[in-house]
Structure 1
Amino acid sequence: MRFLFVSDSFRGSLSSAETAEYLARAAREVFGEDVISEGIPVADGGEGTLDAVWHAAGGNFIEMTVTGAAGYPVTARYLGLDRKRAVIEMAEASGLARLPREFRNPLYTSSTGTGELIKDALKRGFSDITVALGGSATNDGGMGALTALGVVFRDMQGRKLAGRGTDLAQVRDIDVSGQDPRLRDVRIRVMTDVRNPLTGPGGATMVFGAQKGGTPEMLEELENGMCNYRERIIAATGRDPDDLPGAGAAGGLGAALGVLAGGRLVSGIDTVLDLIDFEERLAGADLVITGEGCTDRQSCCGKVMQAVGERARKSGVPAVGLSGSLGAGGLEIMDHGIASVMTAVAAPMTLETALARAPELYYSAALRMFRFLRTGMAMGRKI
């Protein structure tokens, strides 16, 4: 019996690697020491992507000091998979989790540090650069990152703008003539798990701005600025970023890299699965177990469970889910290769209690799931 464990992290409680450890322990308890299992930490392009790819595919971390989201220096890493391929995680340099609560103000945060990571990868000669968006503290339209790469944004008086959220409304000219020429010779993939446009009710500001510290007044100012920024991008390139699904990811960095820097926006989880050669790992597996904190309708929109389930089905390997909870539309995941879903929460409790007891609840649910599987196997032998 060979199991493959491929779960997303349970935000605020369990990492992807921890879910694999609990599943392996539960499988041994139910099936004995002869069971073979492999855990593959994964992420969908947001926080944790760097470590997930490193755990699965190896490589070397490159560490450097960059400009943090609030303007002060921070130490950030990116991953060199081999001589050609590098993986950069925006959250390392410009992430919300790295920013103390008192500095969370999307009017003044900037993605400059992420651009500095990309510039360093270019300098080192990487020709295939993947940038994982998600977990950002910024709403600057990616201006900070592009400024670090040589793009110049000017206001009505011709003055250079720093590239913060408050600068969006001031942009009158975008000069890409000084953009790092090495960008033309590299492949840039931009990983995102969202398809939000840059502006509008479903755009970067109105959907994600509040969680980055934006008040209603700030969001109105930022949205007006983002609409101006969109018009300036159209004037500079002839392309409307709102036509690009995912342009609103990471406070608009998706638009900056996808329209102005020549990057290609791709599914986060599909790219991760490609980087770790997931199909090869599926070979010989009897069952795949995946999961996430809450399985709901959004799980079918480019998330871990959907991608894992569809690839497992294509390879003829059954897949089941073990998630923290089940939300509205969660059972739709069964249309994507997931045979069934079990939840860790087994009784009414507050979210705070569930998070605090996550290891205990998850392990107990894993034991129940494997006992069900063992029972089904015993029934199958009698048919």
Structure 2
Amino acid sequence: MHILIAPNAFKNSLDAGQVALAIEKGLKRSKLDCTTQCFPIADGGDGTGTLIVESCNGKVVWKEVTDPLGQKIKSSFGLIDYGKTAVIEMADASGLRLLKKEELNPLKTSSYGTGELIKFALDEGASRIIIAMGGSATVDGGCGILSALGIRFLNNGGDVLQAVPESLVNMAKIDASDLDKRLSNCEIVILCDVDNKLLGPQGAATVFGPQKGASIKDVPFLANFLANFAKISTAQTGKNMADIKHGGAAGGATAGLNTWLNAKLVNGIEYFLKLTSFAEALQHADLVITGEGSIDRQTLQGKGPYGVALQAKQAGLKVIGVGGVIPSKPDEELDRFFDQLICINEPGTDLATAMANTRENLVKTGNKIGDMLA
């Protein structure tokens, strides 16, 4: 039996590659006579860019950029497809993991550094730029990125505003006359792992603001800023920025780049699997194991394990899903894609203990699956 192991990362615990290796280790300890292939996956979240560059045998380019609070840091992007395509991970320049918990403040953080990476990619001659936007520390609608690329945000008096929400809330006009001309010949593709639109109760400020450090008072402030940005953008471009599917991802940066740079917003896992030739790996598999930290109905909204399971089912293969959390009762919708869901934790395990023992529990689960199949 040949088993394809294609998990997503277990957030805040292990990256996708580590998860795959732990499951593989367990399978090899089991009674099952099998071969395995590790195929770690990502859906646009933190770590997606790294996996794409590794899978496509790309090279990494290091540059100095600005972090979310304006400090200079070393960051990187990848080049694949003989240098024609750049792969940028927003989290590498504008990510939550670059800041201490007490530094998180989406009124003051900017995505400017990600815009600098885009400029460096253009300097390298890239004609296509793929951006994974998961794990950002910003709710600036992508204004920081746009500012780095030459767009200016003005107040009523014509003064240029700093590209952070606490200043941008005074935006009255957007001047795109100095936008980097090279962008007109460059395709920008953004991998999205959520469907949320920019505004409303499921919008960027309300849903993702608190994750990035927004207080109860900050959320309506950020929502008002984004609403004003959308109103001005719609008036100047004719594009309804508030109505863009995936527009709420990365603090609204997806909506900003779609409106002002004509960036394509795509389903992250679908694009990732195509780019990394997942279908070829499926051809040799007899069974697929996938998973992530939590598997539930939200998984079916375009998350990594769903994308894997969908393609595996289309190929006529059985799928086992593993997670730190799974539904307590059978779920008809999930059962259409997963032949079996397995929780890697013992019942009643508290979160801290579960997180600390993720690797060990994945090895045990791999062993359990192997013995079950044997």
Equivalenced residue count is 373
Q: Distance in 1 between matches of 2:148 and 2:329?
A: 42
Letter in 1 for 2:308: V
TM-score normalised per structure 2: 0.96
- Counterpart for residue 58 of structure 2: 59
Q: Structure 1, residues 304-344: CA drift from partner, whole Å, max 9, x if none? A: 11100111111222221111121478835535532111110
Which residues of 2 match residues 1-383 of structure 1 at below 5 A? 1-31=1-31, 35-82=34-81, 83-327=83-327, 331-332=331-332, 334-374=334-374
Q: Structure 1, residues 263-301: CA drift from partner, whole Å, max 9, x if none? A: 010011111111211111111111110001111111000
* 1:13 CA displacement: 1.8
Q: Distance in 1 between matches of 2:330 and 2:256?
A: 33
Residue 297 of structure 1 contacts residue 329 of structure 1 at CA under 8 Å; is this kept in 2? no
Q: Structure 1, residues 317-376: CA drift from partner, whole Å, max 9, x if none? A: 2221111121478835535532111110123111111111212222112211121112xx
Distance 1:330 1:235, change over 3 A: farther
Residue 297 of structure 2 contacts residue 334 of structure 2 at CA under 8 Å; is this kept in 1? no
Residue 153 of structure 2 contacts residue 168 of structure 2 at CA under 8 Å; is this kept in 1? no
Q: Structure 1, residues 32-85: CA drift from partner, whole Å, max 9, x if none? A: 6x6321101211101011222233222101111111101111111111113211
Letter in 1 for 2:50: D
Q: Which runs of 5+ in 1 are unaligned?
A: 375-383
Q: Does the residue aligned with 1:324 lie in a helix, a strand or coil?
A: strand
* 1:166 CA displacement: 1.2
Q: Distance in 2 between matches of 1:55 and 1:336?
A: 32
Q: Distance in 2 between matches of 1:53 and 1:328?
A: 34
Q: Distance in 2 between matches of 1:327 and 1:20?
A: 22
Q: Which runs of 5+ in 2 are unaligned?
A: none
Q: Distance in 1 between matches of 2:22 and 2:333?
A: 23
Residue 26 of structure 2 contacts residue 362 of structure 2 at CA under 8 Å; is this kept in 1? no
Letter in 2 for 1:22: A
Distance 1:312 1:240, change over 3 A: same
- Counterpart for residue 377 of structure 1: none
**Relative contact order, CA 8 A, sep 6+: which one is greater?**
2
Q: Distance in 2 between matches of 1:337 and 1:67?
A: 42
Q: Distance in 1 between matches of 2:203 and 2:184?
A: 28
Residue 28 of structure 2 contacts residue 367 of structure 2 at CA under 8 Å; is this kept in 1? no
Letter in 1 for 2:155: D
Q: Does the residue aligned with 1:347 lie in a helix, a strand or coil?
A: coil
* 1:168 CA displacement: 3.1
Q: Does the residue aligned with 1:190 lie in a helix, a strand or coil?
A: strand
Q: Does the residue aligned with 2:145 lie in a helix, a strand or coil?
A: helix
Letter in 2 for 1:276: T
